[in-house]
């Protein structure tokens, strides 16, 4: 580092767990860029100052995670179309003091599926959860010509809001969106049986032997279905283990983590992330943390 080093950051609370510094610093080094990426644990009371600090300190950009993806919007000057769709950002670029927000999560997942040669066009998919990452995937589905999206959500205080948002998305695209109540086992089963790809965007399976769907639904998984779990720590979740037992091809969320980061890196620098180098280092670090 020297007086000309361009800084980039990860703003979240907590932030110490982030793998983004590993990914982006490897990518800066590979591309011979004089830049450095750091993680910042930002308290909610300090968040506005932190975003304004990106301008004041001439940061090149930043990534955001919980709890700031939606809160950040009011401090930005511009949003990309895909960030506007979900009213959330995970990436900020500083263009000479003008802060532009983007959302690379949804595109990250679908790029990973494309890299694995998974057919997307005209397919029906099932997304479990409609939180931050889930919303990004739901909105991005139309960009990849998905025919129908089943969105499975718990009947809580945001249920009607998500229903209205899905209706709005459907009116703007050729993709059909169907909201499924998590409390309705028959509806969950019907959606599962019609879906080529099943995506877990909940936190079920991160800390315990939890499954994101009831066993009486999951037991109907067929080998031709592809199962994707956004969780990557542990590398193999109970959901993935069960899907593999049913004969399904499956993968964890490392690819989405990689590609959302690669898209952010390109948004900032115009350069490509060295995907396989970063992937290898990510897996090594996750295994180290799991010990």
Ramachandran bin of 142, using left for φ above 0, alpha for ψ from -120 to 50, beta for the remaining angles: alpha
pLDDT in tens, 135-171: 999 999 999 999 999 999 999 999 999 999 999 999 9
Question: Residues at the annotated binding site for shikimate?
Answer: 18-20, 65, 90, 105, 232, 260
Per-residue pLDDT at 177: 98
Three-state DSSP state, 63: strand
Question: Residues at the annotated binding site for NADP(+)?
Answer: 129-133, 230, 253
Q: Establish whether 194 is a catalytic residue.
A: no
Q: Read off the pLDDT of each residue in 249-276 and give the average, rounded to a whole number.
A: 98
Per-residue pLDDT at 76: 98
The three state secondary structure string of 269-280 is: HCCCCCHHHHHH
pLDDT at 47 over 90: yes
pLDDT at 128 over 90: yes
Of 200, 226, 196, which Cα lies nearest the Cα of 213? 200
Q: Do the two domains 6-102+257-290 and 106-251 of this chain adopt the same fold?
A: yes
Rounded (10°) CA dihedral 222, 214, 230, 109: 50
Per-residue pLDDT at 205: 86
Q: Of 69, 241, 280, 291, which residue is the catalytic one?
A: 69
Determine whether 89 is exposed, middle or buried from the number of CB atoms within 10 Å of its CB (0-12, 13-18, 19+). Answer: buried
Q: Read off the pLDDT of each residue in 99-103 and give the average, rounded to a whole number.
A: 98
Query: Across all residues in the chain, what is the average pLDDT?
Result: 96
Question: Residues at the annotated binding site?
Answer: 18-20, 65, 90, 105, 129-133, 230, 232, 253, 260
Q: Read off the pLDDT of each residue in 252-270 and give the average, rounded to a whole number.
A: 98
Classify domain 106-251 at the CATH superfamily level: NAD(P)-binding Rossmann-like Domain (3.40.50.720)
Contact 89, 64 (CB under 8 A): yes
Q: Read off the pLDDT of each residue in 72-86 and give the average, rounded to a whole number.
A: 96
Rounded (10°) CA dihedral 141, 128, 21, 275: -50
Q: Enter the CATH code of domain 6-102+257-290.
A: 3.40.50.10860
Residue-range domain boundaries for the chain: 6-102+257-290, 106-251
Residue 218 tokens read as 């999951």
């Amino acid at each position: 580092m020297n007086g000309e080093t361009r800084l980039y950051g990860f703003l979240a609370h907590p932030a110490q767990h982030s793998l983004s510094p590993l990914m982006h610093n490897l990518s800066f080094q590979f591309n011979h860029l004089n830049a450095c990426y750091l993680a910042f644990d930002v308290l909610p009371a300090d968040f506005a100052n932190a975003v304004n600090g990106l301008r004041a300190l001439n940061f090149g950009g930043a990534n955001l995670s919980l709890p700031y993806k939606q809160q950040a919007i009011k401090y930005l000057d511009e949003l990309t179309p895909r960030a506007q769709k979900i009213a959330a950002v995970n990436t900020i670029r500083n263009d000479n003091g003008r802060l532009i927000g983007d959302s690379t999560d949804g595109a990250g997942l679908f790029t990973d599926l494309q890299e694995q040669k998974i057919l997307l066009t005209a397919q029906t998919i099932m997304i479990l959860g409609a939180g931050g990452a889930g919303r990004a995937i739901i909105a991005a589905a139309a960009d990849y010509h998905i025919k129908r999206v089943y969105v499975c959500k718990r009947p809580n205080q945001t249920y009607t809001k998500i229903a209205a948002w899905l209706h709005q998305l459907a009116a703007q695209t050729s993709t059909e969106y169907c909201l499924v109540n998590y409390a309705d086992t028959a509806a969950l089963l019907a959606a599962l049986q019609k879906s080529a790809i099943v995506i877990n965007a909940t936190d079920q399976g991160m800390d315990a032997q939890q499954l994101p769907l009831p066993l009486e639904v999951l037991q109907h998984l067929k080998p031709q279905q592809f199962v994707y779990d956004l969780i990557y720590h542990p590398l193999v979740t109970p959901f993935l283990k069960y899907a593999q037992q049913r004969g399904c091809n499956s993968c964890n969320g490392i690819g989405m983590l990689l590609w959302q980061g690669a898209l952010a890196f390109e948004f900032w620098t115009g350069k490509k992330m060295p995907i396989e180098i970063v992937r290898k280092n990510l897996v090594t670090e996750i295994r180290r943390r799991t010990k």
